[in-house]
Structures are given as C-alpha cells and as structure tokens.
Amino acid sequence: MSQTLLSASNISHRFDYELFENINFSLDASCSTAIVGRSGCGKSTLLHIFSTFLKPTSGSVTLLGQDIYTLKESKIEQIRRYDIGIVFQFHYLFKGMSALENIQVASMLSGQEIDTKILEQLEIDMLINQKISELSGGQQQRVSLARVLSKKPKIIFADEPTGNLDKETAKLVMDVLLEYIKKENASLLLVTHDEEMAFRCNQSYRLEDKKLERIK
C-alpha cells in the first residue's frame, strides 16, 4: 500500500472573493500529479497552500504526517529545509555566485551531498563554474532544479517549471523530475498550463469553477 505524503481536507481560500472551496486532495509516494487550469484560477495559490507557504482560509493540510498549519514556524522551516523542494517558474538564483555555489547553498543547508549524476542529466555539469549572469534562461532554470534536487526532497512542488523553456529543454526537465521521484520514492506535484507535460504525470486534476476535479 502506497504511503500518503500529502493530504488536504476541505481547503477553501478567499481574497476579496472566493478563489476555491472545499477541496480535498492527496498525494502518495512515487506518484506524479499535475494540476491544470486557466490563468487566474488559483493553481499557484493552491500549490502554495499545499507547500507550507500560505495558510488557507479554512481546511487542513497534513504534510508528511503533520498538520502543518498547527505547527510553529520553526518546525515549518525545518520541513522546508529538509523535506520538500520548490521549483518556481522563475529561478531566484544568486546572480553574483556561480552555478555550483548556488547549488551548494541548498546542499549545505540540508546536509546532503550534490549528486553529480543529476548535473549530467540536466546537461549543466560543464557550466557549474560559470556565473549565473553568464547563463541563458534555460540553463539557469536547470541550475535551479539541480539546487532543489540536491536537497533530496520527499516532495517536489513545481510551479510552471517549464513555462519559460523551449520544448526540448522542457522535456529534459520533466524527464529528470520523473526519474528522480521514481528513484527516491518521492512525489511530484506539478502546476502547469502545458497539457502535454500534465499528461506525462501518473494523474492529473483540473481546477475550474472553484473545484478540483480529477481528469486522469
């Protein structure tokens, strides 16, 4: 029986309007899941709720066996540092540092060694001594992904990670993500507008009209 790494119950969230309501969701180990939906439907907001960065208006999120929004901030920070990885559409790298130094930051914080095989898979092993400012946008995004994977997270939350990439690079990034979760018995939650990327996941959901419905 698969281990459930993430479980969300009756999640609702509102700003000055109701974004979504009564969402229930779970994510098992070794499972890749995509959430698709039109721009502005709340995909990224839902991902931020699942990944400890935004408390929902109502409902609960159990992450790795812990009800995260009842925890102290110090405990949540530990989960972020050691157990989960966040891949954003924009890389948020330290531009004054080399690619390797950026990856080392995450590796040192989590106590994990850098996996040189991942650098090779992402085709950045020959670029690691270059400054971030010297790299293309696609190369920077792959450095960002290597930084996340170097932590050996149990869950990867990816917010439009291929949104600014060409088709070939997007495929490469997705290949590496899917191989990682299989190898590490981890899980992937992907928010994307790319139906082709979503189809590659084990299961997919659509967020529409305030509801989350499984479509695969």
Q: Does 25 fall in a domain? A: yes
Number of domains in the chain: 1
Q: Does 185 fall in a domain? A: yes
Q: Does 111 fall in a domain? A: no
pLDDT in tens, 132-191: 999 998 899 999 999 999 989 999 999 998 888 889 999 999 999 999 999 999 999 999
Q: Which of 77, 68, 63 is nearest to 25 (CA)?
A: 63
Write the CA distances from 177 to 85, 162, 170, integer angstroms: 11, 11, 11
Q: Which amino acid does the sequence have at 83? A: D
Q: Does 198 fall in a domain? A: yes
| Average of per-residue pLDDT across 57-77 | 96
Separation CA 191–CA 47 (nearest Å)? 7
pLDDT in tens, 45-66: 999 999 999 999 999 999 999 9
| Average of per-residue pLDDT across 112-124 | 90
| DSSP assignment string, 6-36 | EEEEEEEEESSSEEEEEEEEEEETT-EEEEE
Token couple for 200: 């590659």
Q: Residue 26: which domain range?
A: 4-89+154-214
Task: Determine the distance from the C-alpha atom of residue 38 to the mean position of all C-alpha atoms in its chain, rounded to a whole number.
Answer: 19
